[in-house]
Amino acid sequence: MTTMTEASVREFKMPDVGEGLTEAEILKWYVQPGDTVTDGQVVCEVETAKAAVELPIPYDGVVRALHFPEGTTVDVGTAIIAVDVAGGAAPAAPAPAASAPAPQPEAPQEEPKPEGRQPVLVGYGVATSSTKRRPRKGAEPARQAAPAAAQAPQPELNGHGRTGVVTPDRPLAKPPVRKLAKDLGVDLATVTPTGPDGIITREDVHAAVAPQAPAAEPVPQAAPAAPVAPAPVVGHDTARETRVPVKGVRKATAAAMVGSAFTAPHVTEFVTVDVTRTMKLVEELKGDKEFAGLRVNPLLLIAKALLVAIKRNPDVNASWDEANQEIVQKHYVNLGIAAATPRGLIVPNIKDAHAKTLPQLAEALGELVSTAREGRTSPAAMQGGTVTITNVGVFGVDTGTPILNPGESAILAVGAIKLQPWVHKGKVKPRQVTTLALSFDHRLVDGELGSKVLADVAAILEQPKRLITWA
């Protein structure tokens, strides 16, 4: 994700650190202009819609410039840092553009394809990006020097044209703005940008739509009254309320939950179970030498119980392929664990959890939780899940109706384990009791199958010896 702008200066572009992500927010810079960097050195931390990721630089040199401050959301493919690989002093970048505009156009146009080594950075590959770098001051003469290229983007809509078109005059707009333009039927090539560096904003798109409604001339007479009504809404009381931009993990979670809730028909079933024997087993395992240094808690045995239930009812471990109209049955279990982090809800998963022994599962759970709390969960760790567990009991609630993680068939919610009166061997005794809730996709999991899975989990937690007899 680099490009040459001068003989010795390389521009490092924002890579796609996930699968198909379009933007990332720069959380922190670890270097400043004038600092020396080496190949593989982490230069910044960025947050995508999936996780926070540290980006290493793929070559040696001296930092020439940081193109964006911390807190800025940058499109994938946009240059974020310039490095002088020759190691010379960093000259003032804007001065040459102002004093000698004529030779400058050659620099941005001569973007040769990276030759030789194409480094693979952590969390992403080296796929060539079609995203254009943001234009800089002094780049206008280059556009004037190529008037024929202005006709190339005409067939484009929402930034997606044929792969062979020339891109120097491609309209600049963020993905949400492109989607808005597509929804409103606006060709971005015809929109006059008013944003910084020639970026098309939402207001520009709405302004382009306004002239298309000549029949609505009688309506403007009522327009003077319109600004009066929204005035109280626009003037927010900052002392009594705080507005937080929706971005990063929260934005991705919101989109995923809405998509899941309105795509997969959810069914949720509940069961209340006596887990006293399971709690006793947890205490015994804590003293077992096989679990020395490992964290043993009820979640470990609940996870193992769910894995055994899936083994007994394998059809529940599947996904719905809408495009091909197929049910994809999974012969492996990537067990997701919903985790609340400072950045929001994430669902990393334990790969091939079905093949792990109980100590191995305990180790994987411990690593997953600690990594999530430290904000170091990688995008790969949150991909490919098949079934999920969400432990709402840690918040003291009895249970809930969990929403499926997109692409998965079931999610098990575990409520708080409380001491309650319970009929045990014909007598009312205080017992450790919890409530389980299983939500499943009714397109591929019918009521019988879902009920069997939930009943098996409850039976194992009531009689943990079934972990041996059923496994």
Instruction: Supply the residues annotated as catalytic.
Output: 442
Taking a C-beta distance cutoff of 8 angstroms, is the pair 417, 393 a contact? yes
DSSP 8-state code for residue 26: E
Taking a C-beta distance cutoff of 8 angstroms, is the pair 180, 190 a contact? no
Question: Could you tell me how many helices (H) and strands (E) the chain has, helices first?
Answer: 12, 22
Using CA atoms, how far apart are residues 43 and 32, in angstroms rounded to an integer? 9
In 110-214, where does DSSP find H-type helix? 140-144, 175-184, 202-209
Kindly write down the DSSP assignment for every residue of 181-227, as one continuous string. HHHHT--GGG----SGGGEE-HHHHHHHHGGG-GGGTTGGGGGGGGG
Using CA atoms, how far apart are residues 168 and 153, in angstroms rounded to an integer? 9
Using CA atoms, how far apart are residues 85 and 12, in angstroms rounded to an integer? 12
Using CA atoms, how far apart are residues 159 and 176, in angstroms rounded to an integer? 11
Taking a C-beta distance cutoff of 8 angstroms, is the pair 335, 303 a contact? yes
Kindly write down the DSSP assignment for every residue of 340-379, as one continuous string. EETTEEE--EETTGGG--HHHHHHHHHHHHHHHHTT---G
User: Phi-psi bin for 149: left (phi > 0), alpha (psi -120 to 50), beta?
Assistant: alpha
Taking a C-beta distance cutoff of 8 angstroms, is the pair 70, 28 a contact? yes
**Of the candidates 115, 107, 88, 123, the residue with the CA atom closest to the CA atom of residue 14:** 123
Using CA atoms of 450, 451, 453, 454 in order, give the dihedral in degrees to the nearest 10: 120
C-alpha dist (Å) from residue 55 to 42, 47, 372: 5, 10, 18
